[in-house]
Amino acid sequence: MTASTSTAEAPAGLLQQARALLIRTMTFYRDDPRTASWLRERLERIEAPLRIAVTGRVKSGKSTLINALVGAELAPTDAEERTQVNTVYQYGPEPRITAYTPHGAAQNVPVTTLDPGTIRDLQRWRPDEISRLVIDSPSPGLQAITLIETPGVSSSAVKETGRSALAQILSEADAMLYLTRHPHQTDIQFLQSAHELEVARRAPINTILAFSRADEVGSGGSDAMPSADRVAELYRNEPRVRSFAQYVLPVIGLLGQAAATLDADDFDALAALARLSSAEFENLLLSADRFVNSTTPETVSTTTRQDLLQRFGRFGVEHAVTLITRGAGDLKKLRSALLADSRLNDLQESLHQQFVERQEALRARSVLMAVEMVLRANPRSGGRQLRGEFERLLANAHEWDELRLLSALRSGQVRLPPHEREAAERLLGAFGNQRHIRLGRRPDAPESELSNRASDALLQWRTLAMDPMRDHVHREAARTVLRSCERLIADTSVRDTAG
Amino acid sequence: MHCELSPIRVFPRERDRHNRTVIETALVELIDRTTAECVGQQRPDLHHRMRQIRNRVLDPAQLVLVVGEPKQGKSELVNSVVNAAVCSAGEETTTAVPTIVRYSEEPSAQLVQQEPSPDPAALDRLPVPIERVHNELDQAVSHGRPVTRTEISLPRAILKNGLVLMDTPGVGSVSASLTATTQAVVAEADALLMVSDATQELTTNEISFLRQATALCPNVALVQPKTDIVPQWRQVVELNRKHLSNAGISAKIFPVSAKIRVRATSAKDPDLNTESGFPPLLDYLRNELAGKHEEFTRKLVSHNITDVVDQLMTALREELSNQNPRTATETLLELESAQRRAEDLKRAVGRWQKTLSEGIQELYSDIEHDFRERSWTIQHQVGEIFDEADPNTTWEEFAEWLSTSLSESIADTFGWLDERRERLTEQVCDELLREHIRTLPNVERIQAPDPLDRVPEPTPPKNANYPRKDQILTGLRGSYAGVLMFGLITSMAGLPLMNVVSISAGLLLGTKSLNEEKDSRLKRRQAEARAAVHRYVDHVTFQVNKEGRDTIRNLHQQLYDHCNRVTEQAQAQVSRTIQDIKREAERSAVDRDERAREIKRKLEELTVLRKRAAMLASNRIAAA
């Protein structure tokens, strides 16, 4: 997978070092079967898909978004928030549900197909009965990433979230996708505490903040999406949001889910609705109740309507019908149009850009966290060397310097002139981790252009790093960018010798 | 553009108005009395609160606060209620400044600014055209003008009874400073409309906000807009009903849809209007709030007075319950400690006296022993000296040596005595002053006395001179015997009595007896000298001992006096303290009883006040 290719490219890469440390720790604890097996599990995770925690405020659309990302209706969506259990959705050849009790025992739940009802029932067990649900699904959406759904923050049904949920997320996941309907103090507090933990401060967890129910912000009119974009833009510039989340974007989970689960019957029903006159349709969709109870057109039954509304949402139905009248004449077209409008693609793109491309650093972070947890929980003599190694890796890795500086730049702790700031963010990999993106060039740019560009940047930032007019913090920042430039050049030379 | 869908009730009628003033007077009187109690109890916080309530009772307007988390549709709700876009609502805008909507014949709008000055009256009102109020507000805020609120006046029937709606910034929005203002205003409101949209159930934050708010304002209703978006809003409303009852909050729930309302208004469709859920809400505002102003004010006043009086009574009860046992215990403790001190002192007296007498006894014997030992050494030396030396020839030298060594011994002994004095003083003072500040007595340094002057010098032996004639006599006596003895022997050999042999023998024997005589005289002299020195030293010893005893007695007296003085002072102080405590306890008992009586009286008064306030709530007018 991607992990192995990246390790081939950089033999002494961060992940490789972290992996070596993990193996050494495993050897060190080999006489303790429980710790060793726990560490082995972590080692296996390095090769498994990237683990992303999907968390957020209560009813922020976590399940809907998970369904949309998976491409199948797995996670139960309900009006009532009851989820108390961490649920892991991972790729598996056969549908399977495994429930773990807090004592570590695994229980296989016999299922032939996965349906939200079963999962819902399991999720409503109390945390002292079931600590974790692992759901294997053959959905293609899970091949690259594993999703972990957590109980909502500040829910009235579920007590004791917050701190414990946080610790779990940080220890279980490589990156975090935080959902909210609208940024609230609770969200900021949660993100802040996630960044204030000891290890997180030195190696921050990557976070994407998504406005997950963008269609319901405001009055939920047909122009919901452009205004949601503007809201996202507003919060992208809000220092307190910016310093905790690398990326802020709106997404309509329901549309994504609708697109993923759209079938021919749905399309027929929607097409029937699209044949109504605009005035009729407007009256029909005035409220959800009206839509369900109405009898026009007669071909669409009440249960279909309920089902549509449940899966699409009122905005989804309205939008789908508008798309059909505008020419999305068949199922496939409608599906792609819905998908495009849900912004799910944007989300997936930024997931890719922020998480998958950086997975080496993210995985290394998780590995180091695991090592740290073991060293802290089972201290024994002789562990000092491992500890030292751990500290060295944590302190020296340039990847985290980059992340920290990005966060500082965005929160305004470090201020650079606008053009310098943009250049610095790009070089640090804010817009994408690939070399040509970092250098601001097209993907097909010739090697010579890239290396020239890298050298120019190197010179420029070297000057800035030694500029006596700047204070220590800014020179330090410039030095970090400079190191990124050096890496880009080193990368060039590696490639030259390889080619 | 605006249309009122329900018939307008005409308010207030003349009789009502009369009734109202009577009740108002009663209420204000009640409030004033409570305020006076607050002042008496020195509770400026409660006093301030009562003043707010008083202003509210006298103000005919009824402030209905529209509160809730951001982006729930608060502004849209206000707009829908008055059928005009007076509050800026939308996805991107967030209410930053409260908007107040009230009744007037002519529509108008004002931006109210407050200069950052301590004077509360420094409000600056800036009239703006009502159509452009949002733009003006945005401009003013972006120019950094301190706009505190927008005031809109509209000719709407629903506002005619004095209903004032206030749209507030969202609670818990990312910009936190706005939240504090909302909280402060809640205390002044007659009623709250909590807005939480119907797409999801109440969160813990919202419930805890409601709980806080209900403590300050008893009339709360939950409005759940956006019912048009989701089909399962009924389920959400049911869930919220459950959450509210779990949290112990009684509030009506109004699910509404602004979108349907707008459509109903433009289509003038009463069915649609019913569907929008607004008629019950308007009814609530009009009848429950506006129509029941009197009951409402009463409820509010009752709620607040009860609360304030409860707080005052709690404080007083606490004082009452804390007062008695605490002071008594304290007195007892103080007394105990004073008595303990007195006992300590007594014990200390015994201790130091014992130490002192023991020390002094020891000192007596030690000093005597010490000097005796030294004098013995001297006598021993004297004996040795006079075994050989002739007192006749060495007397002068000897006398000098004797007086020097005696003086040295005396000095040594008294030096040692002085050291012992210091040590003893310290010991005694330690015993005495263990719990007092350590003051060493001012005892004089002991000077070595010079008793030698008072002792007659030792006399040299009397038969010091051996006169020549005695010597000749002694020599003659010896030689006579020799001549006679040897003359007789030689006469037998026919020699004359006086011959060479006898004369020689006579000379020899004469010399011998002279020498023997001299020798025995020396022995006698030496013995005499020894005896004289012995007597002398004895005498000196006696004198030194006497001096030493005197000194020690003196020291004893000084130490005793000092210690006695200190202890007596301390004892006097302790007994004074004990008396003080007793007197204080007697006096404070009197005071306490008086204060307790006062508190009890106050409590009774407050109980009456509370009863009257409670009667207000149970709908009986307590005007008397």
Amino acid B384: pLDDT: 87
B339 in reach of chain A (CB within 8 A): no
User: Predicted confidence band at B178 (pLDDT cuts at 50, 70, 90)?
Assistant: very low
Do both B275 and B370 map to the same domain? no
Write down the domain spans for chain A.
2-252+345-361, 256-342, 414-498
C-alpha distance from B1 to closest chain A C-alpha (Å): 20
Cα of B139 to nearest chain A Cα, Å: 18
Residues of A with CB under 8 A from a CB of B: 57-59, 79-81, 154-156, 181-186, 188, 213, 216-220, 224, 227-228, 230-231, 234-235, 238, 240-241, 286-292, 306, 309-310, 313-315
Q: Which chain A residues are closer than 8 Å to B204 by Cβ?
A: 154-156
CATH number for the domain including B64? Answer: 3.40.50.300
CA distance A428 to chain B (A): 28
Is pLDDT at B3 greater than 80 in this prediction? no
Kindly state whether residues B190 and B274 are assigned to the same domain.
yes
Domain that holds residue B157: 60-289
Model pLDDT for residues A408-427, shown as the tens digit of each residue = 777 667 778 888 888 888 88
The proportion of chain B whose per-residue pLDDT surpasses 70, expressed as a percent, equals: 84
Using DSSP, state whether B95 is helix, strand or coil. coil
Instruction: Suggest the residue from A80, A83, A156 to mutate for an interface test with chain B (most B CBs closer than 10 A).
Output: A156
Q: At what angle do helices A418-428 and A447-465 cross, to 10 degrees?
A: 120
**Is B396 domain-assigned?**
yes
Residue range B8-18: mean pLDDT, rounded: 43
pLDDT higher than threshold 80 for residue A292: yes
Candidates A79, A154, A234; nearest CB to B232: A79
Q: Do the chains contact at B174 and A218, CB–CB below 8 Å?
A: no
Comparing A18-22, A199-203, A463-467, B128-132, the range with the smallest average pLDDT is: A199-203
Higher pLDDT, B513 or A183: B513
Question: Chain A contact for B232, CB < 8 A?
Answer: yes
| Domain limit, last residue, from B255, B273, B289 | B289
- Residue B19 pLDDT more than 70? no
Using omega within 30 degrees of 0 as the cis cutoff, is the peptide bond preceding B458 cis?
A: no
Confidence of residue B13 (pLDDT cuts 50, 70, 90): very low
From the list A185, A235, A288, the residue facing B229 with the nearest CB is: A288
- Region B531-545: mean pLDDT is 87
Beta-carbon separation of A217 and B260 below 8 A:
no
- Specify whether B267 is located in the same domain as B394: no
Q: What amino acid occupies position B361?
A: Q
| B390 and B276 together in one domain | no
Instruction: Give the whole-angstrom CA distance, residue A315 versus residue A280.
Output: 16
Higher confidence at residue B541 or residue A153? B541
Predicted local confidence at residue A41, as pLDDT: 87
What type of residue sits at position A323?
A: L
| Residue B324 belongs to some domain of the structure | no
B284 shares its domain with B337: no
Residue B571 forms part of a structural domain: yes
Q: pLDDT tens digit string along B121-157?
A: 456 778 888 877 878 887 877 777 777 778 888 888 8
- The number of folded domains in chain B is 2
pLDDT band at B559 (very low <50, low <70, confident <90, very high): confident
Contact A286 B228 (CB under 8 A): yes
Distance (Å, rounded) from C-alpha B399 to C-alpha B387? 16
Whether residue B127 is found in the same domain as residue B193: yes
**Are B92 and B192 in the same domain?**
yes
Domain final position from B289, B310, B345? B289
Asked whether this complex has an ipTM greater than 0.85, the answer is no
Confidence check: pLDDT of A7 > 50: no
pLDDT tens sequence across A46-57:
888 999 988 887
Calculate mean pLDDT across residues A117-143.
81
> What pLDDT does residue B8 have?
32
Candidate from B172, B200, B275 with C-beta closest to A186: B172
Burial A85-121 (b: 16+ CB within 10 A, else e): bbbbbbbeeebbbebbeeeeeeeeeeeeebebeebbe
Q: What does the pLDDT look like over B22-45, one tens digit per residue?
A: 667 777 787 888 888 777 777 777
Q: What pLDDT is stored for residue A200 in this prediction?
A: 59
Shared-domain flag, residues B237 and B384: no
Instruction: Evaluate whether residue B432 is within a structural domain.
Output: yes
Mean pLDDT of chain B: 78
- Over residues A146-162, the mean pLDDT reads 65
How confident is the prediction for chain A on average, in pLDDT?
80
pLDDT of residue B441: 66
Each residue of B460-497: pLDDT tens digit? 776 656 778 888 888 888 888 888 888 888 888 887 87
Question: Over 60: is that where the pLDDT of A236 sits?
Answer: yes
pLDDT in tens, B561-612: 888 888 888 888 888 888 888 887 777 777 777 888 888 888 888 888 888 8
Q: Mutation target for A interface from B74, B95, B173, B174: give the one with most A CBs within 10 A.
A: B174
Residue A70's pLDDT band (boundaries 50, 70, 90)? Answer: confident
**Nearest residue on chain B to A308, alpha-carbon basis:** B231
The last residue of one of the domains, among B289, B309, B324, is: B289
Mark whether B351 and B432 lie in a shared domain.
Answer: yes
Tokens of B262: 């707008």
* Cα–Cα distance, A391 to A368 (Å, whole number): 9
Distance CA A149, CA A88 (A): 6
Arithmetic mean of pLDDT, B302-324: 78
pLDDT in tens, A158-196: 444 445 556 666 677 888 888 887 777 778 777 777 776
pLDDT of residue A203: 65
Residue A223 has pLDDT above 70, yes or no: no
8 A C-beta contact, residue B162 and residue B292: no
In a domain? residue B225: yes
pLDDT of res. B543: 86
Predicted confidence (pLDDT) at residue B114 exceeds the cutoff of 70:
no
Instruction: Output the pTM of the full model.
Output: 0.62
The larger pLDDT score, comparing residue A198 to residue A277, is at A277
CB A426 within 8 A of CB A457: no
- Is CATH 3.40.50.720 the classification given to domain A2-252+345-361? no
Please indicate, yes or no, if residue B103 is contained in any of the structural domains. yes
At B115, the pLDDT band (50, 70, 90 cuts) reads: low
**What DSSP assignment string belongs to A25-88?**
HHHHTTT-HHHHHHHHHHHHHHHSPEEEEEEEBTTSSHHHHHHHHHTS--S---SS----SEEE
Q: How far is A353 from chain B (nearest CA, A)?
A: 27
* Together in a domain, B259 and B383: no
Please check whether residues B260 and B376 belong to one and the same domain.
Answer: no
| pLDDT reported for residue B291 | 59
pLDDT score recorded for residue B324 = 57
The dihedral built from the CA positions of residue A439, A445, A447 and A448, taken in this order, carries a sign that is: negative
pLDDT at B148: 76
* Pick from B155, B219, B162: nearest CA to B12: B162
State residue A4's pLDDT score.
38
What does the pLDDT average to over A373-380?
A: 83
- Is the pLDDT at A230 greater than 50? The verdict is yes
